[in-house]
Structure 1
Amino acid sequence: MIDSPAAPGPAPLARWFAWSVALALVVGLAVATWVGVRGVLAFEHLRAARDAVSIAAVGTDDPSLAIHVLASAGTDTEAARALTSDPVWQLVSALPWVGPQLDAISRTVAAADDAFSRALSPLAGAAENLSPAALAPVGGTVDVRRLATIEPVATSAAAALRRASDDVAAIDRRPLLGAVGAAVDDAAALIGRASDDADALSRATRLLPRMLGADGQRSYLVLFQNNAEWRSLGGVVGAVAQIDTRDGRIALTTQASTADFVDMAGEEVGPLPDEVAAVFGTGPSRFIQNATQVPDFTVGAPIARAMWQRLHGTSVDGVIALDPVTLSYLLRATGPIVLPSGDELTADNAVSLLLDEVYRRYDDPRDQDAFFQSATAAVFEALADGRADAAEVIAAVGRAGAERRLLVWNADAADQAVLDGTPLQGRLTADSAARSTVGVYLNDGTGSKMDVYLRPSVETALCTPDVASVRVELRSDAPDPDSLPAYVTGNGVYGVPPGEALTGVYVYLPPGARVLDRRSTGDTASPVGFSGGTHDGREVVKWSVQLAPGQRAQLDLEFRLPSPSDVDAVMTPTRDPGEVPHTGTCPFPPA
């Protein structure tokens, strides 16, 4: 009889189990070490890339050098990508808890590499055409063809950066640890800014050559807004000018003032949309001064164009609006300019000189207009002649555009479409699923220049996920009216006592929002008035308030949003760049 083999005893089985556990621990430790070391090395490369971005952001005003610095970060992002995409890393990314962390890191690194290595590196090859020397006018002419050569690679880079930005935005933040989530958020913000900058470059290289006459002569009407007398988009239109462009050469051909339009005052050049006329009346289509009263430049610009054609017989290709604050930004690029009057116009004194001092010096509006025209012509000539730092000009235009002080409208629909979604169009802001925007637009009702002494404040707050509020405060810091010229106070011509200021505040709620409550507090020179209407799917509340020197008033509106979202605001740009909307607390008690 043959005996069967004996089964393993307890000791061999225990040893087998111990060795299995030990082997698993060793493998796990090896994998953890592998992933950990590679993760640390990847973060070191990302830190170096981030430092390169910081240098590009603050270390140079030369766009071509900045692009080269940013592109150099591609070496580090490429190395980080290799470290976080090997099979072991991908295997561990499938595990629970630690897997989402590693997956988020590898996806973020891949997006950063797509942004810096694959999007910006090709652009670096054409970057010399973006240097200040390449952009500056030579003999009064901009090399538009050199600028146009950048367009294909700029458009390609913008598309690649947008995809990279969308990739990071799509990463689910919910399972991420604090440090990993913060790193993903930082990368998202960084790539998002690069995407926005590349998008702006792409649009500029598509549109600027055409606007500068690369395809034939172009003509543009320039409206100079006066922030001392508010209109929704900035200020009353004072001086106007026509500039012509051809093959990169810019010429100031004609200047005029609002007095030149007096013979056609009161005649509508075209009907306004019914809902716009119901809110603002027909003044925007009858007076050049009110061309910027409707808070949509695509409404006012064609009206100004039609008025110019009726006055001069010229059908311009577009309309541009800017204000004295924009001129002050441009003066940082040109340096001080001596005017025919002997005044030295500088970045520091332009606003006060053009919005205050000129009215104290000249009683006759024609003399005031002549001074405005000489100032704008002098700045324009300095820019056209190449007597300005090109990098500073780019910075000035970018800042003025972001602050909605510089507005552009093209009669050609294809050209205008290049600006879609940018603040340069001066349109009512578009909302998103995550954010709703309130518009607060200020309009003078005094017929004066007293708004230089008014101090506005706009504050938004989220009361509940779908209920928000906006607070608008106005304060008058006006001096004794006897110390002011009659032209500044309005001299009571429109029924407002000298020294007081009547303001129409138009609050545009987000599309689909509706007012729940409103209240006005403070001290006012006359009873507060309310009216309103609708415009482009937005409820509009008009608050009319009149202030004497030293008085203040406050409007609080509570409204329900069509769906939960954050809320912010835009407002009329004033003479003070620091007067911008901010976030506060809800002034209404909980329901």
Structure 2
Amino acid sequence: MIASVLAVALTLFLAMLAWVGFRAVAAQEHLSAAQRMAGDLRQTLASDPTRATAAVDALSAEVSAARGLVGDPVWNIAETLPWLGPQLSAAATITETLDTVLAGAARPLAGIAADGLTSLAPRDGRIDLDALASLRQPAEAAERVLISASQQVDRIDRAPLIRPLREGVEQVDAMLGEFTTTSAILANASELLTAMLGSEGPREYLLLFQNNAEWRALGGIPGAMLTLRTDGGAIELATQASSSDFPRLDTPILPLGDEITGIYGDHPGRWIQNVTQIPDFGVAAPLAREFWQRQHGDELAGVIAVDPVALSYLLEATGPIDLPTGDTLTAENAVSLLLNEVYLRYPDPREQDDFFATAAAAVFDRLLDAADPQKLIPALTRVGEERRLLVWSADGGEQEILDGTTLQGALPDSDADVNRFGVYLNDGTGSKLDYYMDVGAHATLCTVTPVAATAALRLELRNGAPDDAATSLPDYIVGTRGETTIGGTLRGVTRTIAYIYLPEGASLGTRAASTGEAMEVGTHDGRTVIGWWADTAPGETATLDLTANVPTAPRVEVLMTPHVRDAVSPAEPARCDSGR
């Protein structure tokens, strides 16, 4: 009798395992198909957002089918088994979460991408503020769904899970965090842009154009600038000026504080060309605003900064633009034309700034009239990710919305997951030779313990100017006042002043430079700052290696000054055994 009962029980148990195994395999097939579709969805959003809803629906169908396979009573009973139970429970939770997120968050966001772009496209210099404001509700609803989903995933006990399943849970957790941030940004952007575009009355903003041919920490020296007026969604460009229009002051225009002056001196507050020398737009923008207001008397609501590389991305959405000079500005030639050829053509700095402002105004006019919205969103996304668009608002509440975004232009923040170094470059030559410079940085973790860690960083600078730059390039590009540059180097030799910000709580370990000297120069907002001066002649490369004692975290990243070309990898990776 007992044997018969055991036989029946064993048969039922094996049948249950077979049933669960069959359904698990079938669910895995649906989830694998969904994973492939998810990869295609990113490409769809970038190339044709109008197809986003259909793509999400197809993805949702696969995940829903998988969910139907992992939630029946037999599966639920199997979840109580030792070892196997936690695996099945985690798989069911992840599948259920993904299904809920697709229905409650991805579909509304896809609807925004598919239908909202056309309504948000500027028409006759005006953006529909009602359409813009309508984005906030679905974005906030999606954010709530994603937060709930993240909490559900956080409750999964990962300790007993097999490695592939544990890694899958971690990937979903990271994805939910990313999408939650995206939803919050979209909701906040709807609120912020509605106000910035004059929903409550006229506003005026200073638009700075950073010149990457002469490095400053945030991108480049401010040269040409314009004011941007908004009112009820209407946008127009107003007053044009050049940095050469502003006086050099005897004392800083605003207090800088001992930390900043200890590192950068008082130049950022005395010359408008140097406000972006400080790698914090929250400091640089108020300085630029004060310079403008004293010179022109305008009351500015905020400051926006872009660079020519950003304009080249936007030209992908506008198409080629004919300029009054007879030039045709395209995505392919904008950088070389604005950062190099203009100096070969016009020896007068005012003419150079006029050309730059004319080109920038033409791009903005086209953006407000005939930009392709399907190409504009990816272009703006790329501009933001590369920190080539910075925004500061004089309204404290609106500025809080920008906190934590790339648009804020803040110092790098580290957290429990990643230590972030900042590498900020300033020209010390007074030239436009940084157009020819290639730069790369690499960081790596050396040791990690529960209580401490060490990391290494390598910075590499290469002067790619022509070998005969001293004789073939005009004075304005090489920055000379005779045989030497304004900074004191020989013609064609660039001087780069690099500031390396260690993660919060980190301390310098070793350092070794191929040229010049690297040393601690101060502390800025809790971050130790290392200064390094490097002179490089055409064809030469300069390197700096350092190590740092950093808080424990599993990853390390580097944020760097945006420059003309994409960052290149150093010839050698960061070295944990370098320096002294």
TM over 0.5: yes
- Determine whether 1:357 maps to 2:341: yes
521, 529, 549: which one aligns with 1:560: 549
233, 237, 241: which one aligns with 2:226: 241
Measured after TM superposition, the shift of residue 540 of structure 1 is 0.4
* CA deviation string 1:242-281 (max 9, x = no partner): 001111111001111011113x544421110210111111
Structure 2 counterparts to residues 388-399 of structure 1, below 5 A: 388-399=371-382
Which residue is 1:77 aligned to? Answer: 63
11, 28, 40: which one aligns with 2:25: 40
Change (3 A) 1:268 1:261: same
- Determine whether 1:140 maps to 2:134: no
Which residue is 1:381 aligned to? Answer: 365
Structure 1: stretches of 5+ with no match in the other structure:
1-15
Which residue is 1:111 aligned to? Answer: 97
Report % sequence identity.
46
Task: State the secondary structure of the residue aligned to 1:468.
Answer: strand
Task: Work out the CA distance in 2 between the residues paired with 1:204 and 1:63.
Answer: 18
* CA deviation string 1:358-379 (max 9, x = no partner): 1111111111111101100110
Structure 2 counterparts to residues 415-494 of structure 1, below 5 A: 415-465=398-448, 466-479=453-466, 480=468, 481-491=470-480, 492-494=485-487
* CA deviation string 1:304-362 (max 9, x = no partner): 11111101111211111110100000000000111111111100111111111111111
Which residue is 1:541 aligned to? Answer: 530
497, 503, 515: which one aligns with 1:510: 503
* CA deviation string 1:178-214 (max 9, x = no partner): 4423443443454444334323322222221111112
51, 57, 72: which one aligns with 2:42: 57
- Could you tell which deviates more after superposition, 30-39 or 329-338? 30-39
* CA deviation string 1:123-162 (max 9, x = no partner): 566666513x212112221111112112112112023223
Measured after TM superposition, the shift of residue 170 of structure 1 is 5.4
Structure 2 counterparts to residues 166-565 of structure 1, below 5 A: 166-168=151-153, 171-262=156-247, 264-385=248-369, 387-465=370-448, 466-479=453-466, 480=468, 481-491=470-480, 492-521=485-514, 524=515, 527-528=516-517, 530-565=519-554
Task: Work out the CA distance in 2 between the residues paired with 1:509 and 1:347.
Answer: 36
Is the Cα contact below 8 Å between 1:145 and 1:214 reproduced in 2?
no
Task: State the secondary structure of the residue aligned to 1:242.
Answer: strand
Task: Work out the CA distance in 2 between the residues paired with 1:441 and 1:45.
Answer: 47
What's the RMSD between the two structures over aligned residues? 2.3
Measured after TM superposition, the shift of residue 475 of structure 1 is 1.5
Task: Work out the CA distance in 2 between the residues paired with 1:583 and 1:433.
Answer: 28
* CA deviation string 1:547-585 (max 9, x = no partner): 222222211111111335421111111101344799945
Structure 2: stretches of 5+ with no match in the other structure:
none
Measured after TM superposition, the shift of residue 54 of structure 1 is 3.3
Which residue is 1:9 aligned to? Answer: none
Task: Work out the CA distance in 1 between the residues paired with 2:182 and 2:295.
Answer: 39
User: 1:316 is aligned with what amino acid?
Assistant: L
Which residue is 1:3 aligned to? Answer: none
Task: Work out the CA distance in 1 between the residues paired with 2:317 and 2:509.
Answer: 48
Is the Cα contact below 8 Å between 1:298 and 1:427 reproduced in 2?
yes
Is the Cα contact below 8 Å between 2:487 and 2:495 reproduced in 1?
no
Which residue is 1:86 aligned to? Answer: 72
- Could you tell which deviates more after superposition, 338-347 or 575-584? 575-584
User: 1:208 is aligned with what amino acid?
Assistant: L
Task: State the secondary structure of the residue aligned to 1:101.
Answer: helix
TM-score w.r.t. the length of structure 2 is: 0.93
Change (3 A) 1:27 1:590: farther
- Choose 1 or 2 for highest CA Rg: 1
Task: Work out the CA distance in 1 between the residues paired with 2:493 and 2:228.
Answer: 38
130, 135, 144: which one aligns with 1:150: 135
Task: State the secondary structure of the residue aligned to 1:176.
Answer: coil
User: 1:496 is aligned with what amino acid?
Assistant: T
Is the Cα contact below 8 Å between 1:71 and 1:120 reproduced in 2?
no
TM-score w.r.t. the length of structure 1 is: 0.91
Measured after TM superposition, the shift of residue 109 of structure 1 is 1.1
* Matched pairs, number: 569
Task: Work out the CA distance in 2 between the residues paired with 1:322 and 1:150.
Answer: 25
Task: Work out the CA distance in 2 between the residues paired with 1:70 and 1:352.
Answer: 40
